[in-house]
Amino acid sequence: MSTPHNTAEAGDIAETVLMPGDPLRAQFIAENYLENSVCFNQVRGMLGYTGTYHGKRVSVMGSGMGIPSIGIYSWELYHRYGVESIIRVGSAGAIADDVKLRDIVIGQGACTDSAFASQYHLPGTFAPIADYGLLRRAADQAERMGIHAVVGNVLSTDAFYNDDPSYNDAWKKMGVTCVEMESAALYMIAARCGKKALGIFTISDHLYRKEALSPQDRQTTFGDMIRLALEIV
C-alpha cells in the first residue's frame, strides 16, 4: 500500500483529507484541532496525520508547493488510499478589487497557466471546478459561522515570480479573485478519479494594494479557514 512518497498503510488515512501546502501547518492542524492524532507519513518531510474532529475521522497532510507536488500527493490519496474528498486549505494573493485581506475565498473554479491537463488528451479546454456539494456546504457554513466568504474563480499559476509585469492584469479583467498554485491540478485529478475536491483560501496579501497580513493576523484568520473546512467534513 505504501508509495515512494507515503508510508501509510491501508486504513491509516480517513476518507476526507485537509491539505495545506506547508507540512508544518498540517502538523499544527493535527496538534491543535484534532483529537488523538497519529502521524502516518514523514517521507520527504511531508507530514500527514489522522485524528478526529467532533467525533468525525479526518486526516490532514501537506501538499507541498505547486501543481506537480499536489499532483503526486492527491493522485496517491485518491488512487491508493481510498480518499473520497480533499479540501485544500491555503493562502492566496488577492487580485480583485473587492477581495480584501482576511477574506475567505472558496474556489468555485480554478484557471491555470499550467499544461497539466495536456496529459488527458482532451479535444478542447477543460474547466477545473470544485465539487458542488462541498462548495455549497462551505458557503452555507461560512454564513452560519459569520465568516465573510467570497465564492469565485481562482488562478493556479506555475510561476510565483512571473517575468511578465502585466500577467495579473490579464486575469483580473476576467474577474479572477485571487492567485494560488495548486487547486487546478487538484480539481482535475478529482474529476479524473470521480472524487471530490474543494479549495478554501485565506487572503494573506493583495497584489495591487501592496497589503499583507502580519504573522499574528495570519494565524488568527487561518484559524477561521481551518475551522470552516473541518465543519464540512
User: Which residues are known to be catalytic?
Assistant: 205
- Residue whose grid cell is 510565483: 160
137 burial type by CB count under 10 A (0-12 exposed, 13-18 middle, 19+ buried): middle
| 47 Cβ contact list (under 8 Å, min separation 6) | 23, 24, 26, 27, 39, 41, 61, 62
- Residue whose grid cell is 459569520: 146
Element housing 150 (H / E): strand 149-156
